[in-house]
Amino acid sequence: MQDACVSLLSDFGTRDVYVGVMKAVLARIAPRALLIDLTHEIPRGDIRQAAFRLWQALPYVPAGTIFLAVVDPGVGTSRRPLAVRAEGFSCVGPDNGIFTYVLANQRNARAVVIDRPGLSANATFHGRDVFAPAAGLLAAGTELERIGAEAADPARIPWPLLSLHSRDHSVRGEALFADWFGNIITSIGRLIRLDSNVRLEPWVPSEWAPLEVTSSRFRVLLGGGREIPVVRTYGEVRAGQPLAYIGSDGLLEIAVNQGSAAEALGLAAGSEINLSWQ
């Protein structure tokens, strides 16, 4: 019988042994666990991107998955080490907001501060000494309550900008980050194509209801007034030309056909992005 799936995410990179050592600890405690590397290339200390990447992976991991997420610029400080059980998955990692997005709609999630006897921690490698052992125990069937005492009010990070301006037929958002290809992921979405219409279902907590837009022309406006067409595929514009499209997660993305939007357009995290229609 196989233990649960443990999905690992970190900012450790793969040059050093840190990821391998965490897996070794997991293998000793839960040798039948399925280990999945989501990514270990989160920019150093970038909690916000880590939170997004967990949200991005959540719909596709097996039921009962344990997210072992270690992006921990506060390691060794008073920040708490957490284990959280939610509906269909669990999380283990630092209490710094890294689980904000995946836990947003989890009303019955339970969190504990990891304090199981025997987990002695080096001041700089809690991934090995605290988080991996806790994730391994959960994967092997240990109840959450035996990992530690209940934790109230886990830390949260702010959600990205996503605001609707129905009077002028636009949605305002921001650039989140660039992926490996230089495509800019934005906070605008989720967008769902319905024949000639587009339905906007906010992926961030929002007071406005899903919106269905009928329009023959969508466009993206960047700072400085630059306009970019919204198309379905890269091939609808010439090589070297910018475009916007609905990405695989339902969020608006900005790219350059056969190029890098991050380099060509100079968009940084937090740059304002506007989607408008006529």
Specify the pLDDT at position 89. 97
Q: What is the mean pLDDT of the chain?
A: 93
Reported as a single tens digit per residue, the pLDDT across 7-19 is 999 999 999 999 9
Reported as a single tens digit per residue, the pLDDT across 157-201 is 999 999 988 777 889 999 999 999 999 999 999 999 887 788 899
Q: What is the dihedral of CA 86, 90, 96, 101, to 10 degrees?
A: -60
CATH 3.40.50.10790 fits 5-150, yes or no: yes
Q: Determine which helix (DSSP H) or strand (DSSP E) holds 92, and give its type and residue range.
A: strand 89-94
Q: Structural domain boundaries of the chain?
A: 5-150, 162-277
Alpha-carbon gap, residue 232 to 251, rounded angstroms: 13
Report the CATH fold assignment for 162-277.
Answer: Elongation Factor Tu (Ef-tu); domain 3 (2.40.30)
Contact 111, 154 (CB under 8 A): yes
Take residue 169 and report the two structure tokens written for it: 């037929």
Q: How confident is the model at residue 118 (pLDDT cuts 50, 70, 90)?
A: low
How much is the average pLDDT of 135-147? 95
* Domains 5-150 and 162-277 belong to one CATH topology: no
Q: What is the pTM of this model?
A: 0.93
Specify the pLDDT at position 119. 65
Take residue 181 and report the two structure tokens written for it: 């290809």
Take residue 114 and report the two structure tokens written for it: 């990891």
Q: What is the dihedral of CA 131, 134, 140, 144, to 10 degrees?
A: -130
Is the model's pLDDT at 98 over the cut of 60? yes
Residue 133: burial class (beta carbons within 10 Å; 0-12, 13-18, 19+): buried
Specify the pLDDT at position 52. 98
Alpha-carbon gap, residue 146 to 238, rounded angstroms: 59
Residues contacting 266, CB < 8 A, separation 6+: none
Reported as a single tens digit per residue, the pLDDT across 215-266 is 768 899 998 889 999 999 999 999 999 999 999 999 999 999 999 999 999 8
| Among 2, 7, 4, 3, CA closest to 131 | 7
